[in-house]
Structure 1
């Protein structure tokens, strides 16, 4: 594995933009972020291996010209933590429900090209046999080398959802909570189930929430018509996340706040937004951030197999959907996932949602890392963190993607060719 020095550019941190004096990547980890002078940085130093760790690692003496490190020139670019997508069904013609390694690897490569360095392949509600097969495929590749983004585990969107708020999901695949089925899914996942979306109002859902919470699975609310009171009870039992906030649920009313009123006001719940300019008016991103605060919202794609493909007709959740100008919908006009990447979501948040770049990047990196309990490994440019790093140009286009210290996407030469014309 190569070691790198990233010179120049601006670091995008939670506190703002910082001039980069030199960021050292060593052994797949961020050894030291670029807040020091280069001449003192590379003359030999020591740092803790992980934040809060007492272990000290002494790095060898080296200069920029010694050949010990490969230099990456980030002049004129933004350096950000890699993006983490907690909700993604497919991309580049593949779907998680294809239930095979090739589909997942191609998805991992495609979404890496859009700035995603780790993600949760999302298993749609389907028959028990189909969900089991898809979950097995995800578990087999979790935390393995994909040539693209790292698969952190699976997200089950269903099957315990409300058919009245099915959205683009096939309502025939939605069913009442079943502890035996849930136990079987957990066993199949072998510790690789990281999130499950449920409807808080369904009878018997309390036991499902508690079972998953005990197993360390993040429980999310969505595809629901729950009342405010029902949702608050579910939060009491362990719900900590809300998928595609404002979508596939009843609208909020000032005398009947419903699920939205509960997840927006509960400080322990993190809310997810799909910033494709179709699922939400850009002003709703501002509203979400103003209510939940900088730590309380994430960006996700909810991307389907049509992402990265041309307009046309595709299959999602066993149903035919149409893509036109990037907008995905069922024949009845219901939105059906999205075709965006995480980098596109960040750009939309900045350009149309009037959200600052540091805040948009936090919503795409640090916040989802914290949802999964991985904030000591991913989501920031701190010593000891995984070297999941992006270089974005001034237009916030992805120019380089590094996953755990390995460059998987490099478009810097394309940038040089454009500049030379």
Structure 2
């Protein structure tokens, strides 16, 4: 893999901005600019912005296909390529509730994609089927079910596909199962649950470390019944948030960001469907029609079905509407999801030794190019 030296950039390293900076890559990782080897490709960026590549931990699809439609390596490649056009350099293809056989196929595809080194593939997010029937949302009722011993063994085996997030609900998953899965290395995320505050805390104590799409498909916050939302904000776990102005009102997001107790952080997820990167109209999901209207994806009854937004647009929306500024909005798509997946030692920032995943953008935050492991995978 050839070396790369980019000069004349305004660099955001994940912490702060550096004017008239340089960026250097060798062997797929960032190196100190003063260690650029002889013969490295040199690019004068002419004042472009350079930021860490976006990390999306909940991606149902893109480029005209959902992961559930055909869980395979070509599908993963297609989804990753579609989202690279919008600045995502690492993602978790997300399988929502489906047949047992479909999950097995997804796990096999994840393992094969990791072995093949598919650019942009980070690992898997298995969202369901062990959810609450009351908060299943668009997940097919016929496939929602309690977790069994065979499920635990299969999910532990899925970890060889790479960093793995599992969305489960206490209603369908025991505390002991969460303890075992977390101990094996899974990122256990609580979601699609109507559980109360104290139940949520018990599962967090057992090892659940994130929550899936904060506010959506979970028991709401009340002043006497804090619910799952209250448990997320009042504990140290991290949580994904969909920043499209449809799933969460910006005022609710602003309140949550001010209220969140650390060390966990709120990070951005797209929950994107196959529409990303396409002009496709309506589509089918588990035999039901999903209608695409004015930035919203929903069943005929109005139930939201994922999101029609990319990560670049999410960062822009958060910066504009969450009163956090561009720096923090970028961190919500880079540093914080990396920390939530416990991969902050190799992704989410620009620093020597970390994976050379980065973006070049105009001063107006328009994407010019996407780089994964020091290789340009998209150019506007």
- What is the TM-score normalised by the length of structure 2? 0.94
Distance 1:188 1:380 in 2: 27
Distance 1:71 1:308 in 2: 31
Distance 2:266 2:154 in 1: 31
Query: Is the counterpart of residue 225 in structure 1 residue 194 in structure 2?
Result: yes
Q: Is the 8 A contact 2:159 2:186 kept in 1?
A: no
- The alpha-carbon distance between structure 1 residues 380 and 20, as it changes in their structure 2 partners (threshold 3 A), is farther
Deviation at 1:349? 0.7
Once the two structures are superposed, residues 97-152 of structure 1 have per-residue CA deviations (whole angstroms, 9 ceiling, x without a partner) of 21122211111100111111111111111111111112211221026333x42x12
Structure 2 unaligned spans of 5+: none
Q: Is the 8 A contact 2:14 2:348 kept in 1?
A: no
Runs of 4+ in 1 over 6 A off after TM superposition: none
Structure 1 unaligned spans of 5+: 34-40, 46-58, 63-67, 412-421
Root mean square deviation, CA, Å: 1.8
Q: Is the 8 A contact 1:8 1:20 kept in 2?
A: yes
Distance 1:371 1:346 in 2: 18
Deviation at 1:311? 5.3
- The alpha-carbon distance between structure 1 residues 316 and 400, as it changes in their structure 2 partners (threshold 3 A), is same
1:86 is matched with 57
Deviation at 1:276? 1.2
Query: Is the counterpart of residue 308 in structure 1 residue 285 in structure 2?
Result: no
Distance 1:205 1:254 in 2: 27
Deviation at 1:293? 6.4
Q: Is the 8 A contact 2:95 2:106 kept in 1?
A: yes
Query: Is the counterpart of residue 264 in structure 1 residue 233 in structure 2?
Result: yes
Query: Is the counterpart of residue 152 in structure 1 residue 130 in structure 2?
Result: no
SS at 1:9 equivalent? strand
1:179 is matched with 149
1:18 is matched with 18
Distance 2:285 2:29 in 1: 37
Distance 1:223 1:161 in 2: 6
1:384-395 to 2 correspondences below 5 Å:
384-395=353-364
Distance 2:225 2:158 in 1: 39
SS at 1:357 equivalent? helix
Distance 1:15 1:99 in 2: 37
Q: Is the 8 A contact 1:201 1:230 kept in 2?
A: no
- The alpha-carbon distance between structure 1 residues 219 and 376, as it changes in their structure 2 partners (threshold 3 A), is same
Q: Return the match for 2:41 from 63, 70, 92.
A: 70
1:283 is matched with 251
Q: Return the match for 1:353 from 322, 345, 348.
A: 322
Distance 1:175 1:105 in 2: 30
Distance 1:165 1:296 in 2: 24
Deviation at 1:291? 2.0
Q: Return the match for 1:321 from 290, 293, 296.
A: 290
**Aligned length, in residue pairs:** 378
Deviation at 1:312? 2.0
Q: Return the match for 1:127 from 76, 99, 114.
A: 99
Deviation at 1:191? 5.0
Distance 2:141 2:46 in 1: 51
Distance 2:133 2:279 in 1: 30
Distance 1:131 1:391 in 2: 36
Distance 2:295 2:114 in 1: 29
